[in-house]
Structure formats: structure tokens, C-alpha cells
Structure 1
Amino acid sequence: MKLLSSSLAAAAIALTALNAANAQQTQPACSSVYTRPEILSLSASQWTLTKSVLSAMQRDGWFGWFAYLHNNWFGSIHGNSQFFPFHRRFVYDWESVGKRYNNAFVQPYWDEMRDYRTPASSQVLTSNWLGGNGQSGSWCVQNGNQAGWTMSFPSNHCFSRNFGNNGNPTSWYSPEYIQSFIQRDTNMATFRSDIEYSLHGVVHINIGGDMLQGYSPNDWIFMLHHANLDRLWWQWQVNGYLWTMDGPNSDGSAINLNTNIAYYNQPINTVMQLGYGSMCYQYASNPIRRRALDSTLQNKLINSLPKDVLSTWFPDTAKLPAASAVASVIPELVASQPGKSIPFPATLTQQWINMHHYNQADVNRVQNDARNFVNAMNKAGYKSPY
């Protein structure tokens, strides 16, 4: 018998892996799939529709309900492997309510890594979109789509934000560092803590106000933020970990695909694969405002980093061919964003760590990893296009 060629062998391996993954799937494939867009890619009419739905949901008490639900289950859905499946189901639940008002409603995401250097200057946080910081003293938000709202949970209060670092939040986490997680992490326990103790936490902390509380869904940024985290989880899943679910459950026992999602009486395996069951959505792969920068990033990493640094922090990218064989680059985008060194990111506050009862050693591991990453990139002379 002749041996399979390398390409046929690779195809056979891929098919075997696909069949193994499909064997896990007991949910029917969706007859149609809608796309969750990056928020700044919404057209004027789409944004008008979205604001109308959000206002109706506020009027009818849905912001208060989701704030209550998140607050009530707070201890069960953070610091353990319930984090991603619960929030995927939670954002989907929110989106489903919005569709009752208008079936065209879709929950967008905010790709916060693109705005990580100076978060407060993000277009997302301007008056035409979500609005900015609250008014000094009361911290009541005066502009944006939730301006002047009175939130009902835990009691009537003005919708508030109190940006960190005296209104000018410290840099968040770079696209490069989050991409490094996606390439390096090989189990859910590590990926979950890497995301939860970095990007997840600093966005909540630095937006502040309602976002700093257990009832953070009072701020619609919560849904944008967790849709983005769900998108990152999906990117990690399709990178070879589609059915990976391990680590601790909220009670300390080992979690698995048959474990029920906290609050929701359904097993985790029902939400693991987008495009199946009730998870009939996908994510836009190339937001309008930053098209092609993902391929630009791959090219830049390959051409800028020594092989040992590339292999350590970006093992998948290290296996790619030279830049000329990678996806094409749009030169004007690179020219319009001159490279800069990656700054050290913000860290979790002790208040936030205590509030969630996080394991301090795990938090320290992630924060040290982030510093080591920035040091390695800067020592190599890397200049980020973001």
C-alpha cells in the first residue's frame, strides 16, 4: 500500500479531528446564522434601531433584571470555568430579549484591544455612541445613548461611570498580547484566567461606576465587552480547542461538558459551538474600521521578532511562511498607524481581586506574564501598528 502524500495525510488528520468534534455536537445546525458586528461598523440606521431597542428594554425593566441576575450569581461565574459558558449564554439571553422588540437587533461587540493605548479617547466613548465619563462628584453620565438614565437595581440611582486614573484610564491589553494567549494556551483553566485577570478586569475597573459593581449589566458596555470576550473565546476554540472544557466549577469540583451552566438549567455542551442549537450567530472577522490589520499583525510579527521570541510568545505565527506568503497588507493602513512600543498594561486593583475572591497567585502569574511579554517585545525592538 502506498503511503499517503503529506497533503493527503494532513487532510485525513483534519477530517478525523472534524469528525471527533462533530461527535460532541448533539445540537442541530442552525438554518441561518446572523453576524454580531463590531460596534463602530454599525450604519446610522442600525445604530438608530439599536438605541431604540435599548431604550425600550430600559423602560420595561430589562436592564434591572440582567443586573440583578448577574449580581445574584456573581460568586458562581467568576474565578472558575463557568466564566465563559455563563457569559456566552447570558449575552445570548440579553440579545434574545432585544429581538423581541425588533428581530433585526443584534448585540455588537467592542474590540477594546484596538483602543487599548488611550481608552478614554475611543470613538466608542464619545457622545454619538456610548458617552464618556460621568460628571465629577455624582458620576452621572450626561451624554451617549444612556445619558440621564435612572437605573432600578439595586435601587434607583443615576447611571454612572467613574473612569480610572482620574478620568484617563491606563493602557489596557494590546492585540498582540491577547493573540499570544490564543496561541499559547492549551486548556480552559489557563485561558480563562489569562483573559479574566487581564482584559476582562481592567475594562470593568477603568470604566468604573456601575461597571465596577456586581450589577455591571446596568452599563451596556458590559454586553459589548462580554460579546468581545466571547469572540476571543471562539477564536481560541477554533484554534484547536472547540470542545475543551476543564478546570474548576464554582463549587471546586472538576467541570466538564455535561456540567450545567450556572443559573441556566442546560449543560455547557449546548453552547460550545456557534452555529448550532440556539447559538445561531457568528462574529465579523474584519471590522470596517480596522480591516486587514490582523494580517498586518502576522506579517509584522514575523518580520520584527527574533525566532526565539516569536516561538515563545506566538508559536502558531512562528510556523507561518515569510511575510510575502501571508495575507496581503494594505499599505495605507500601516502608514496611517506608525508603530509604537507596547506600554505596560493596567493591573487589577486589590479591591477587585477581593471582591471576586480571586486566587492571588493566579492573578500574580498573569500580571507577571504580561510584564514579561512587554519586556520581551520591547527588548526585541518591536513596534506595534495599533
Structure 2
Amino acid sequence: MYTRKNQRDLTASEKRRLVNALLELKRSGRYDAFVRMHGEYVVSDAEDEVRAAHMAPSFFPWHRRFLLDFEKALQQVDSGVSIPYWDWTRDRSTRSSLWADDLMGGNGRFGDDQVMTGPFAHSNGNWPIRADITEGVYLTRDLGRRSNPLELPTRADVDAALGDPVYDSAPWDSTVATGFRNTLEGWSVGGERWRNHNRVHRWVGGLMLRAASPNDPVFWLHHAYCDLLWDRWQRAHRGSGYLPVEPLPASDPQHGRVFSLDEPMPPWDVRPSELLDHRRWYRYA
């Protein structure tokens, strides 16, 4: 078992080793394979396809397995590396150490949002964007959305999600009005859009707005925190659990599109029930 730490608590050595492992995965081409895979599993409500990764109950277990696979790849480069988490309810500023030159690098410049500082700046030659290119070959960010400022989610926003005792409910998509999953994933809840997880993607901006959002390495730190919040919800509601438990009947419009507790999720054919407890692999500091 290994430990995932808050990024603000990383030592200089831990930051350097993480960055070096990320850069090596990028050089080898393995990093871009993860970006492409994520893009393949961004499926909206309106699409008549299975929804494993987003807008569905399996949002949390799917991403847990995705992060585990990525973490294993990092550890094949450096066995002492793990994915840190970014608690965006505490580190809410563009001046946070998260955005320093020794970790994620800074904001994009005015005009084209190109990141010019830190290890992932295109000008340093180490981070060409190859997967799902739409606007350029460089990493982009617009932290806080300068043209129309946006705030990161607050502790109260997260507490509202953690306080819901129900994991998810019908119609098991982005329109669910209650339940921990959609309140934390952050689609349309109570008439408000882009909450929690989704709001963070929008706050970072640039490539984090797209299906290929792992092109920005802060993706992993963001989702590690979402994974930690799932663990906190489980601990707070021990009498509740993943829903739906049973496969949806053929009469349900979501039949065959979302995954119940023991239905294997693509691309691994792993069941949500196998990913409910992270403690066999890692703990959170």
C-alpha cells in the first residue's frame, strides 16, 4: 500500500520525482494513450451509447480504475511516485503552490491561453499536445476564467454533496436532481449547472474543458480529490452504497447504457463492486 498526499504537502523531492515520471510517460507515448482513452468514454445523455465514465453512476468507480492504471504506469517509471490530490476548497488561488514552476506550472498567457511556465510549457519542448488536438500543440489554461470570472467550489458546496445519503437515482444521468454522484460530478442539480467537479474543469479552462482533459496533468490531481471525496461519502453513510444494485429492466430507457453494481465496465470488464474500497492499493494522507 502507498499514500496519496495533498499536493501542498509534497516535498521538493516528491514534486521533482512526480514531474519527472510524468515527463517520461509523455516521452514514451504512454501518457497520450490515457488521454485518448478518456476521450473515448466521454458520452453524453443524448448519445445512444453506454455511459461508463461520465453522467452516470459509474463516474466514481470508472475514474478510480483509470487513476489506478495511470498510477501504475507512473510507478513503473519511479516506484516511489503516487498521484497527489488537489483540495480545491482550500487551494483556491492562481498563486497556490500548485501552479508554481516546480509542479503544474502557471496560467496561460493572454491571447491564446498558452502555458508559458513550468515543466509542461510547450516552449520547454517536453509537453507537445498530440491527443485530440483542436486548437494547437501546446497546453492551455485560463485559470479563473479571466473574461467572466468563476470561483472554485467551496467547502459548503462539497458538504452539500457529502450530506446526501443517497448515492444516485433515476434517471441515472446528468439530470438527476439529488444524490451524491451527480451533486459532486456537477451537472444540472437543483437548477444550477457546473458544480463541484465540473466547475473545477471550467475554472482551469483551456484543455481541461475538453474530452481530452487529461492533456493537462492537473487532471490527475483533481480526480484524486474527487476519489477522496467518494471515500469520505462512503464513511459518512455506511448504510448506503452504490446504486443501482441490480441491472435496469429492459423497459427502462437507461437499460444497457449505465452500469449496476456487478455489471462489468469497459474497457476493463471490471465491476463497480470491485472498486468500492481503495484500501488494498492506497490510503490518503
Q: Check 1:172–1:203 CA distance in 2 against 1; reply closer, same or farther (3 A cut).
A: same
Counterpart selection for 1:216 from 199, 205, 213: 213
User: Aligned partners of 1:150 and 1:169: how far apart in 2?
Assistant: 28
Amino acid at match of 2:272: I
User: Aligned partners of 1:162 and 1:226: how far apart in 2?
Assistant: 19
Specify the alignment match of 1:204 in structure 2. 201
Specify the alignment match of 2:224 in structure 1. 227
Tell whether 2:184 aligns with 1:195: yes
Q: Where does structure 1 lack aligned partners over 5 or more consecutive residues? A: 1-32, 285-386
Amino acid at match of 1:113: T
User: Aligned partners of 1:130 and 1:168: how far apart in 2?
Assistant: 23
8 Å CA contact retained: 2:67, 2:220: yes
Amino acid at match of 2:18: T
Counterpart selection for 2:165 from 185, 189, 205: 185
Amino acid at match of 1:282: R
User: Aligned partners of 1:59 and 1:169: how far apart in 2?
Assistant: 35
Specify the alignment match of 2:276 in structure 1. 272
8 Å CA contact retained: 1:242, 1:273: no
1:96 shift after superposition: 0.5
Q: How many pairs were matched up?
A: 246
Specify the alignment match of 2:105 in structure 1. 131
1:132 shift after superposition: 1.9
Counterpart selection for 1:150 from 115, 122, 128: 128
Helix, strand or coil at the partner of 1:53: helix
Q: Where does structure 2 lack aligned partners over 5 or more consecutive residues? A: 44-50, 170-178, 187-194
Specify the alignment match of 1:68 in structure 2. 36
Amino acid at match of 1:165: R
1:67 shift after superposition: 1.0
8 Å CA contact retained: 1:34, 1:281: yes
Q: Check 1:111–1:168 CA distance in 2 against 1; reply closer, same or farther (3 A cut).
A: farther
Amino acid at match of 1:130: M
Helix, strand or coil at the partner of 2:151: coil
Specify the alignment match of 1:239 in structure 2. 236
Q: Check 1:175–1:220 CA distance in 2 against 1; reply closer, same or farther (3 A cut).
A: same
Helix, strand or coil at the partner of 1:115: coil
Whichever of the two has the greater Rg, that structure is: 1
User: Aligned partners of 1:133 and 1:256: how far apart in 2?
Assistant: 40
Helix, strand or coil at the partner of 1:150: coil
User: Aligned partners of 2:117 and 2:30: how far apart in 1?
Assistant: 21
User: Aligned partners of 1:211 and 1:57: how far apart in 2?
Assistant: 19
User: Aligned partners of 2:239 and 2:121: how far apart in 1?
Assistant: 40
Q: What TM-score do the two structures reach when normalised by structure 2?
A: 0.80
User: Aligned partners of 2:57 and 2:87: how far apart in 1?
Assistant: 23
1:242 shift after superposition: 7.5
8 Å CA contact retained: 1:120, 1:168: no
8 Å CA contact retained: 1:140, 1:158: yes
User: Aligned partners of 1:211 and 1:263: how far apart in 2?
Assistant: 22
User: Aligned partners of 2:147 and 2:3: how far apart in 1?
Assistant: 33
Higher mean alpha-carbon deviation, 252-261 vs 67-76, is at: 252-261
Tell whether 2:5 aligns with 1:40: no
Q: Check 1:122–1:169 CA distance in 2 against 1; reply closer, same or farther (3 A cut).
A: farther
Specify the alignment match of 1:79 in structure 2. 55
* Higher helix proportion: 1
User: Aligned partners of 2:23 and 2:55: how far apart in 1?
Assistant: 32
Q: Check 1:164–1:43 CA distance in 2 against 1; reply closer, same or farther (3 A cut).
A: closer
Specify the alignment match of 1:260 in structure 2. 264
8 Å CA contact retained: 1:64, 1:152: yes
8 Å CA contact retained: 1:243, 1:272: no
